[in-house]
Amino acid sequence: MPVVWLRPTLLLMMVVLTSKASLAEGFLEPGAKVTKAIGGCRFTEGPAVDAQGNLFFSDGPNDRIMKRAPDGTVSIFRQPCGATNGMEFDLEGRLVMCQSAGAKGKRRVARIDHDGAETPLAETFEGHRLNAPNDLTIDNQGRIYFTDIAAPMGDKPPELASGVYRIDAPGKFVRVIDDLARPNGIVITPDNKTLYVSDRGSQKLHRYKVAEDGSLTADGILYDFSPDRGVDGMTLDVDGNVVAAAGQNKTTGLFVVSPAGKLLQHTPLPEFATNVAFAGSDYRDLFMTATTSVYHIRTIKPGIPPVVKTAKQ
């Protein structure tokens, strides 16, 4: 990773963030400390939790998906995995993954079915392969929204511009956002009415209104992280707060932003923060992927449990 020099404005921002963090109340459990839950990886990303409480996360350079059981046991879930990055479980309890670019990357969004087979969901658009699918979110109808970042493939230019897409069924997907430079983290609210998308080109967190048919209308900027690094991965708590991994150098770590756009919490991590997910029996165990490790901290308000269809639904 290249060295990033802190500008004076960023140093000032760090001071402000520290002040706000010390005044923040109502998110972290009193006395809660950041602890390392898992180590020994090369670059962790894409945490996702199933209905049984298992935490899954990707370790890109090792081309594997790891699994942490509720008792803390860690094992390899899938290797190779097509350079998986962002992941989430769908309404049927199947793991959906963004398989990124690179020598081992499959450059697609795919699903691991219950029998272990992979079903491609999105691979080519208008005759061109996707660039580097990064992150995804699934609405309460099972539709999948994912981000795809334009990146050169060796000495070749990107085949497609950066975009955000919606998958309605395997192989059936449309581009819903085409004006963001580097769309990255993405999450939808449980009521299907609001979609948040991070643009790492501008370091702004965008908000969109979601119509019943899944189409989007731009609804302003929730939070501007510039000149710092914007949101990489994010999730939501039960109050609708955006719980995110963002920042760089001294600021990298946990950021919590309210639906009104107010910074509620900033907690630095020892390593470069990439993504977050709630787990635990009460969904107050917040796990944060960061470079070689996964960190843990307890919160007051829980995250939103996975939604899984039952046989009666």
Least confident of 3-7, 200-204, 228-232, 280-284: 3-7
Residue pair 274/292 in contact (Cβ under 8 Å)? The answer is: no
Cα 23-187-195 angle, rounded to 5 deg: 100
1 in any annotated domain: no
307 in any annotated domain: no
Sheet holding 118-122, edge to edge: 84-89, 95-99, 108-112, 118-122
CA distances from 278 to 81, 165, 206, 282, 300 (A): 23, 25, 22, 9, 12
Number of domains forming the structure of the chain: 1
In this model, does residue 313 exceed pLDDT 60? no
273 in any annotated domain: yes
Residue pair 131/166 in contact (Cβ under 8 Å)? The answer is: no
- The CATH number assigned to the domain holding 170 equals 2.120.10.30
Q: Which pLDDT belongs to residue 155?
A: 77
52 in any annotated domain: yes
Residues 6+ apart with CB under 8 A from 242: 187, 196, 205, 222, 223, 231, 234, 235, 236, 256, 257, 258, 259
Q: Which pLDDT belongs to residue 49?
A: 97
Using only C-alpha atoms, what is the Rg of the chain? 18
In 3D space, the residue among 213, 188, 215 whose CA is nearest the CA of residue 307 turns out to be 188
306 in any annotated domain: no
- Report the DSSP beta bridge partners of residue 224: 204
The string of pLDDT tens digits covering residues 137-157 is 999 999 999 999 998 777 788
Parallel, antiparallel, or unpaired: how do β-strands 95-99 and 84-89 relate?
antiparallel
In 3D space, the residue among 223, 280, 225 whose CA is nearest the CA of residue 253 turns out to be 225
313 in any annotated domain: no
68 in any annotated domain: yes
- Structural domain boundaries enclosing 253: 8-298
Which residue has better confidence, 101 or 152?
A: 101
* Helix, strand, coil tally for the chain in percent (to 5): 5, 45, 45
Q: What is the residue-averaged pLDDT of the chain?
A: 91
Q: Which two tokens stand for residue 238?
A: 């039960």
Mean pLDDT on 53-60: 97
Question: Global pTM?
Answer: 0.91
Q: Which two tokens stand for residue 304?
A: 């939103």
Q: How far is 205 from 261, CA to CA, in rounded Å?
A: 10
Q: Which pLDDT belongs to residue 67?
A: 98
Which residue has better confidence, 171 or 24?
A: 171
Query: Taking the C-alpha atoms of 276, 279, 284 and 285 in order, what is their torsion angle to the nearest 10 degrees?
Result: -70
Least confident of 5-14, 19-28, 103-112: 5-14
Q: Which pLDDT belongs to residue 158?
A: 87
Q: Is the peptide bond before 2 cis (omega within 30 degrees of 0)?
A: no
DSSP label at residue 29: P
305 in any annotated domain: no
Q: How far is 147 from 86, CA to CA, in rounded Å?
A: 10
In this model, does residue 295 exceed pLDDT 80? yes
Least confident of 105-119, 147-161, 195-209, 282-296: 147-161
